[in-house]
């Protein structure tokens, strides 16, 4: 999705919810405005000695309910508009889940796949130094997003800590376990997608045993969803990466597929099932469709071909406004991103709490608490959808915007 387009999308969604809540114009303006946005140069020496200057961002949309929280994205599509849209989505996501956070997002416009580890480290350390003044465990807590991982978080934590002169694990989440990371964080987003898919299946009376599942994206989120739903008895009929993937009507052998990919094979070339394109994946007859790649993938070009009963948004903003309307008309149950992929930030919250207390929980405890929070959030959204006679996305936004608006009213305006 063009980046200005993703911002338009988020703003339109907000207006629908604000209208329903009858918010006055002043409060709407306050809720829409970003509290802080920092654009930084990230000069980085490449391995060949050339100096390249990347552009980095950190956008804090809102911190009414607590410190800002959100991922760091390394991707060529990173712009101020896309970071703003995603920061705003984080505000709604955290509010919806009842987490004591506002929303933020950051990133660097770069293609991490073309960079060496040393280059990524130098770039990450410089970026962290540039945004040092506005991050911190009680201010803004970054986490992994597309193109970033535990190692990047470790470098961010180290850079921040070296500048402060003390080790500050709570400045980022999604860290390696050894440095104050949390058990279950890596799988958390995928697990959350799975928990809400189970709830949605119950609502529609879809039996998971034998249900057909198609997943776009075979990264951290897509893989975990596939494994979890397979354990539940579903048939994973298709998975795709950026250049397509594999299809098998009676269900793919996931373990073998993962082995091939771990061995360096491209997903679309693995000798399991048949090759399938991303465009074909969206037209597959299936019970559950999970877009878990980049934004804007479900759009006017494919929405009227979607034959899934449930679409669970593993990615952030995967469905365009136009596609959303088409899916509504076609009776596809869409579980919106701010609910569906909130498992990641929820376990980030657990990680931060553990870091602040220097006391760590068992994986079982983490997964149980995550399941409870996800299922309860799903039920709240489902009840709000019935109460207001709206789709789940609008219902989720009504609940989150209401919470942040109430926070604003209680805090009042400074000075
Ligand atoms: N990047 C993830 C998201 O979009 C996680 C953010 C976090 O854990 O702070 O929700």
What's the mean pLDDT when you consider all of the chain?
97
**DSSP labels for 157-214?**
HHHHHHHHTS--GGG-SS--GGGT--TTHHHHHHHHHHHHHHHHHHHHT---TT-EEE
Q: What is the pLDDT of residue 7?
A: 85
Contacts of 14 (CB under 8 A, 6+ apart): 28, 31, 32, 88, 397, 401
Q: Are 221 and 288 in contact (CB under 8 A)?
A: no
Question: Is residue 105 annotated as a catalytic residue, yes or no?
Answer: yes
CA of 349 to the centre of ligand 1 (A): 10
Contacts of 262 (CB under 8 A, 6+ apart): none
- For residue 2, pLDDT beyond 60: no
Beta bridge partners of 143: 71
Domain ranges of the chain: 34-168, 188-340
- For residue 294, pLDDT beyond 60: yes
**DSSP labels for 262-323?**
HTT--GGGSSSSEEE-HHHHHTS--SEEEE-SSTT-B-TTTGGG---SEEE--SSS-B-HHH
Query: Rounded to whole angstroms, how far apart are CA atoms 177 and 227?
Result: 22
Looking up tokens 């849209």 gives 85
**Tokens representing residue 26 in the block:** 């002043």
**Burial code of 263-289, b = ≥16 C-beta within 10 A, e = fewer?**
eeeebbebeebeebebebbbbbebbbb
Mean pLDDT of 295-301: 94
Give, for ligand 1, the residue of 88, 99, 156, 174 to mutate: max count of ligand atoms closer than 8 Å to Cβ.
174
Q: How confident is the model at residue 37 (pLDDT cuts 50, 70, 90)?
A: very high
Q: What is the pLDDT of residue 9?
A: 86
pLDDT one-digit tens code per residue, 355-397: 999 999 999 999 999 999 999 999 999 999 999 999 999 999 9
Q: What is the pLDDT of residue 8?
A: 86
DSSP strand pairing (102-108 vs 244-247): unpaired
- Comparing 8-17, 146-155, 241-250, 300-309, which segment has the lowest mean pLDDT? 8-17
Is the CB of 348 inside a 6 Å radius of any atom of ligand 1? yes
Superfamily the domain 188-340 falls into: NAD(P)-binding Rossmann-like Domain (3.40.50.720)
CA of 143 to the centre of ligand 1 (A): 6
Q: What is the pLDDT of residue 415?
A: 95
Q: How confident is the model at residue 3 (pLDDT cuts 50, 70, 90)?
A: low
Q: What is the pLDDT of residue 42?
A: 98
Q: Which atom of ligand 1 is nearest to the CA of 72?
A: 1
Q: What is the pLDDT of residue 270?
A: 96
Q: Which atom of ligand 1 is nearest to the CA of 342?
A: 10
Count CB atoms within 10 A of the CB of residue 251. 17
pLDDT one-digit tens code per residue, 199-223: 999 999 999 999 999 999 999 999 9
Give, for ligand 1, the residue of 83, 172, 344 to mutate: max count of ligand atoms closer than 8 Å to Cβ.
344
Is the pLDDT higher at 95 or at 2?
A: 95
pLDDT one-digit tens code per residue, 174-207: 999 999 999 999 999 999 999 999 999 999 999 9
Give every strand in the sheet of 212-216, ordered side by side. Answer: 274-276, 244-247, 235-241, 212-216, 288-291, 310-312, 333-335
DSSP class of residue 136?
B
Q: What is the pLDDT of residue 326?
A: 97
CATH architecture, range 34-168: 3-Layer(aba) Sandwich (3.40)
Q: What is the pLDDT of residue 4?
A: 73
Mean pLDDT of 233-238: 98
Same topology between domain 34-168 and domain 188-340: yes
């Amino acid at each position: 999705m063009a980046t200005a387009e993703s911002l338009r999308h988020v703003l339109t969604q907000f207006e629908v919810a604000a209208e329903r809540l009858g918010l006055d114009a002043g409060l709407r303006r306050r809720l829409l405005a970003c509290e802080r946005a920092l654009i930084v140069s990230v000069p980085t020496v490449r391995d060949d000695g050339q100096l390249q200057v990347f552009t980095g961002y950190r956008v804090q949309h809102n911190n009414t309910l607590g410190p800002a929280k959100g991922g760091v994205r390394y991707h060529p599509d990173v712009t101020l508009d896309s970071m703003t849209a995603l920061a705003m989505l984080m505000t709604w996501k955290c509010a919806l889940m009842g987490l004591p956070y506002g929303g933020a997002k950051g990133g660097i416009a770069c293609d991490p796949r073309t960079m060496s580890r040393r280059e990524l480290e130098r770039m990450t350390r410089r970026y962290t130094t540039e945004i040092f003044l506005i991050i911190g465990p009680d201010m803004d807590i970054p986490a992994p997003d597309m193109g970033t991982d535990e190692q990047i978080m470790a470098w961010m934590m180290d850079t921040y800590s070296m500048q402060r002169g003390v080790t500050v694990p709570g400045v980022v989440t999604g860290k390696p376990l050894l440095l104050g990371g949390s058990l279950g964080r890596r799988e958390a987003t995928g697990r959350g997608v799975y928990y809400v898919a189970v709830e949605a299946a119950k609502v529609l009376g879809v039996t998971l045993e034998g249900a057909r599942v198609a997943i776009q994206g075979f990264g951290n989120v897509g893989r975990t969803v596939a494994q979890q739903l397979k354990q539940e008895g579903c048939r994973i009929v298709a998975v795709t990466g950026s250049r397509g993937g594999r299809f098998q009507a009676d269900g793919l052998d996931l373990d073998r597929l993962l082995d091939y990919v771990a061995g360096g094979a491209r997903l679309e070339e693995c000798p399991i099932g048949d090759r399938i394109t991303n465009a074909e994946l969206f037209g597959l007859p299936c019970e559950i469709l999970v877009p878990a790649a980049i934004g804007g993938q479900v759009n006017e070009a494919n929405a009227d071909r979607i034959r899934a009963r449930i679409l669970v948004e593993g990615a952030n903003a995967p469905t365009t406004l136009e596609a959303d309307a088409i899916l509504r008309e076609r009776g596809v149950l869409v579980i919106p991103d701010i609910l569906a992929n909130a498992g990641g930030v929820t376990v980030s919250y657990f990680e931060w709490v553990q870091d602040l207390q220097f006391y760590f929980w068992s994986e079982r405890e983490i997964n149980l608490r995550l399941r409870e929070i996800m299922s309860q959030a799903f039920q709240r959204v489902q009840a709000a959808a019935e109460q207001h006679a709206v789709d789940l996305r609008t219902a989720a936004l009504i609940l989150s915007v209401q919470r942040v608006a109430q926070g604003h009213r209680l805090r009042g305006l400074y000075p």
